[in-house]
Amino acid sequence: MYKHLSSIILLSAFLFGCANNSGSMQGNRQMGNLLLAEPAPMSQRSQLAIARYSHILSNTDLEDEQRAQLLHQRGTLYDSVGLTGLAQYDFNQAIRLKPDLAEAYNSLGVHYTLQMNFIQAYEAFDATLDINPDMEFAFLNRGIALYYGGRPDLAVRDFVEFYDKNASDPYRALWNYLASSEIDKPQALIELAQQRKNLDETNWATQLVDLYLEKTTENELLSSLISGVTSQQQLTDRLCEAYFYLGKYHSARDNKGIASNYFKLALSTNVFEYVEHRYARLELNLLRDKANETGTDEIQTQ
């Protein structure tokens, strides 16, 4: 297994710089040694697929519905390699050609959320679910939009709907907790503890739930990240997820510098299609906005 992980680097604490207050200094010591996987390369398969779709779209006489489907598929590929502007253009074109394409509305809603255009995001996800009420990830995406849009009470409804469709999934429990904790944190912890009983013990991310429940420590979680990993890509994917939720964990505790660095580490994986990668940048922007509002530089490191 370790042959495949030869490019892993143990990052020492200097990466996280000097803290500006005693609380941050304590947090930095806790961060200790971290695993940094090689950033995911841009998929050659995705690039070739984009080229094929582009050739077909440019050189083939297609019905509007066929063209819309291909545009959405190409847009999804653009998203997977980080070309978000091109992706959003394709999603808009797809909807223009096929106004009942639920998948395109769902994809477009994610882009609006990332741009903090929340009203447009809500409308896109509402359209998605009006067209296809069974598209379960639209509940996740609309819940995330409502969460970042400052409407946690409505977000919880969508996250509960999403969680109930697969109660063994720790990620669904975590998003429900993140929104619920904005309303009533003690009650949210009680609910998370109840949901913990249903989670898949073989899913490594269940340990993230245990961290939030204080059943495991941050260092124990970090030490276990490599367990069961058999490839570089698997490690990179796992680190993207782990560092995002660790960032949220510290952000909730007002450890802005540590949270900022975890979000940067999530971004460094280049796993563009993951929810965690998408919203790590939004989280960083929100931290910077708060720092600017208060006139502090707490998220900066040296």
pLDDT for the residue numbered 22? 34
Is position 119 within any domain? yes
Residue 289 pLDDT:
85
Contact predicate 70/263, CB 8 Å: no
Report the C-alpha gap between 166 and 199 in whole angstroms: 9
| 115 Cβ contact partners less than 8 Å away, ≥ 6 residues apart | none
Same domain, yes or no, for 233 and 197?
Answer: no
Mark whether 235 and 210 lie in a shared domain. no
Using CA atoms of 98, 102, 271, 114 in order, give the dihedral in degrees to the nearest 10. 90
Do residue 280 and residue 295 come from a single domain? Answer: yes
Q: Which two tokens stand for residue 252?
A: 């909730």
Segment (H or E) for 109: helix 102-114
Between vectors from CA 281 to CA 276 and to CA 287, what angle results, nearest 5°?
115
pLDDT, residue 29, reads: 39
Whether 79 and 104 share a structural domain: yes
Domain boundary (201, 216, 231) is at 216
Whole-prediction pTM value? Answer: 0.86
Q: Tell whether 268 and 257 lie within a shared domain.
A: yes
Domain contains 137 = no
Q: Which of 165, 199, 216 is the last residue of a domain?
A: 216
Q: Are residues 258 and 277 in the same domain?
A: yes
Structure confidence at residue 296 (pLDDT): 59
CATH of the domain at 76: 1.25.40.10
Same structural domain, 79 and 32: no
* DSSP state for residue 14 in the 8-state scheme: G
Q: Are residues 226 and 297 in the same domain?
A: yes
The reported pLDDT for the residue numbered 99 is 97
Closest to 115 measured CA to CA, from 250, 294, 295, 279: 279
Does residue 26 form part of some domain? yes
CA dist 269 and 92 (Å) reads: 28
On whether residue 145 sits in a domain, the answer given is no
Residue pair 17/301 in contact (Cβ under 8 Å)? The answer is yes
Q: Are residues 198 and 245 in the same domain?
A: no
Distance CA 180, CA 156 (A): 6
For residue 41, is it within any domain? no
Q: Are residues 283 and 227 in the same domain?
A: yes
CA–CA gap between residue 208 and residue 173 (Å, rounded): 10
**Domain annotation covers residue 107:** yes
Distance CA 195, CA 14 (A): 37
Same domain flag for 171 and 192 = yes
Look at residue 30 and tell me if it is in a domain.
yes
Per-residue pLDDT of the chain (302 residues; tens, 9 = 90+): 433 333 333 343 333 433 333 333 333 334 455 777 678 777 889 999 999 999 999 999 999 999 999 999 999 999 999 999 999 999 999 999 999 999 999 999 999 999 999 999 999 999 999 999 999 999 999 999 999 999 999 999 999 999 999 999 999 999 999 999 999 999 999 999 999 999 999 999 999 999 999 999 999 999 888 888 888 899 999 999 999 999 999 999 999 999 999 999 999 999 999 999 999 999 999 999 887 776 655 554 43
Classify residue 99 by its DSSP letter: T
Domain extent for 234: 1-36+219-302
Specify the DSSP class assigned to residue 39.
P
Q: How far apart are CA 205 and CA 227, in angstroms?
A: 12
Domain final residue pick, 216, 245, 267: 216
> Does any domain span residue 6?
yes
Q: Residues 114, 56: one domain?
A: yes
Query: How many structural domains is the chain composed of?
Result: 3
